[in-house]
């Protein structure tokens, strides 16, 4: 009986010591406060590539902004917006924590040349946790441990839920989506030598810096000029030619993102 009792005690202790996901204590509740964000970056980034809009951004007030890349991307990214209930916001945040995005989980580093990177940001109790996962869709590479493979499996299950929010969240997300409405845009400018511009920049000189922010009437002019164009078009400003990257600013952003400065 003593041996049996000792064995039970050991098993109970092992169960108690088993790692569990860190709970999301208090997701932010402010309208412009980010709760969760997922950004997908390619392995070889083009100029201004880090300005790419996040795939999904969720805010404390329930706003969700999503951007799905397209094969022939327009110059101005076409994002959509939806509303989540506060319960829906908490559900996504907790699921992100359960997937290992709040505790510095080791997802491993597959030895893949120019592998894509997905950047996850989760804010819990006022503290942001940023997690970079290299080649997140790679599961069973030989250079990953069993624990890393299991962590990636949990993460992929979570991202699959994000890909079908209606089925996952049900009544906690509003039906349908609408174009994302924004009041400011960042424009990243990279000079091009020996290239012929096909579009005229509607505002002033672009040589003052690599990134400018436009709002108000200037935003209307830029949108009018850029929305019908392709992301491959070159632009003429004064006597110079530029490659431009247009990035609608998200809630809480008021100037060029740090990656462009």
Q: How confident is the model at residue 118 (pLDDT cuts 50, 70, 90)?
A: very high
Closest CA to 84 of 170, 185, 192: 170
Q: Where are the domains of the chain?
A: 34-172, 182-260
> Is 50 exceeded by the pLDDT of residue 8?
no
> Is 70 exceeded by the pLDDT of residue 261?
no
Fold (CATH) for 34-172: Mago nashi protein (3.30.1560)
> Is 80 exceeded by the pLDDT of residue 50?
no
CA distances from 143 to 64, 138, 156 (A): 36, 11, 18
Which residue do the tokens 């300005």 mark?
A: 51
Closest CA to 57 of 245, 254, 251, 247: 251
The Cα angle at residue 141 between residues 138 and 146, in degrees rounded to 5: 100
What's the mean pLDDT in 165-176?
A: 96
Q: How confident is the model at residue 258 (pLDDT cuts 50, 70, 90)?
A: low
pLDDT score, position 168: 98
Q: Residue 11 — φ and ψ, nearest 5°? A: -65, -40
pTM of the predicted protein model: 0.86
> Is 90 exceeded by the pLDDT of residue 226?
yes
With contact defined as beta carbons under 8 Å apart, do 190 and 48 qualify? yes
Residue-wise pLDDT tens digits, 131-156 = 999 988 887 667 889 999 999 999 99
> Is 80 exceeded by the pLDDT of residue 215?
yes
pLDDT score, position 208: 64
pLDDT score, position 122: 96
Q: Residue 217 — φ and ψ, nearest 5°? A: -60, -35
CA distances from 162 to 42, 64, 92, 93 (A): 19, 11, 8, 11
Can you say how many angstroms the Cα of residue 85 is from the centroid of all Cα atoms in its chain?
20
> Distance from first CA to last CA of the chain, Å, rounded?
69
pLDDT score, position 2: 46
What's the mean pLDDT in 171-186?
A: 95
- As given in the structure block, the two tokens for residue 130 are 């940023």
- As given in the structure block, the two tokens for residue 30 are 């402010």
What's the mean pLDDT in 73-101?
A: 94
């Amino acid at each position: 009986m003593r041996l049996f009792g000792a064995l039970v005690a050991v098993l109970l202790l092992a169960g108690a010591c088993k790692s569990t996901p860190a709970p999301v204590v208090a997701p932010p509740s402010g309208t412009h406060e980010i709760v969760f964000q997922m950004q997908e970056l390619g392995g070889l980034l083009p100029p201004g590539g880090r300005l790419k809009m996040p795939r999904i951004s969720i805010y404390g007030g329930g706003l969700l902004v999503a951007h799905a890349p397209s094969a022939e991307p327009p110059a101005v990214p076409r994002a959509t917006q939806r509303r989540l209930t506060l319960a829906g916001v908490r559900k996504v945040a907790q699921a992100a924590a359960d997937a290992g995005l709040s505790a510095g989980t080791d997802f491993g580093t597959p030895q893949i040349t120019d592998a894509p990177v997905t950047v996850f940001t989760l804010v819990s109790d006022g503290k942001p946790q940023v997690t970079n996962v290299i080649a997140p869709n790679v599961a069973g590479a030989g250079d990953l441990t069993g624990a890393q493979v299991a962590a990636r499996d949990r993460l992929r299950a979570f991202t699959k839920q994000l890909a079908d929010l209606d089925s996952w969240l049900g009544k906690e997300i509003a039906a349908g989506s609408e174009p994302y409405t924004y009041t400011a845009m960042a424009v990243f400018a990279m000079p091009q030598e020996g290239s012929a511009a096909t579009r005229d920049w509607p505002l002033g000189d672009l040589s003052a810096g690599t990134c400018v922010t436009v709002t108000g009437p200037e935003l209307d002019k830029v949108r009018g000029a850029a929305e019908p164009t392709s992301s491959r078009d070159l632009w003429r400003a004064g006597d110079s030619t530029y490659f431009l990257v247009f990035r609608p600013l998200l809630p809480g952003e008021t100037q060029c993102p740090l990656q462009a400065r």
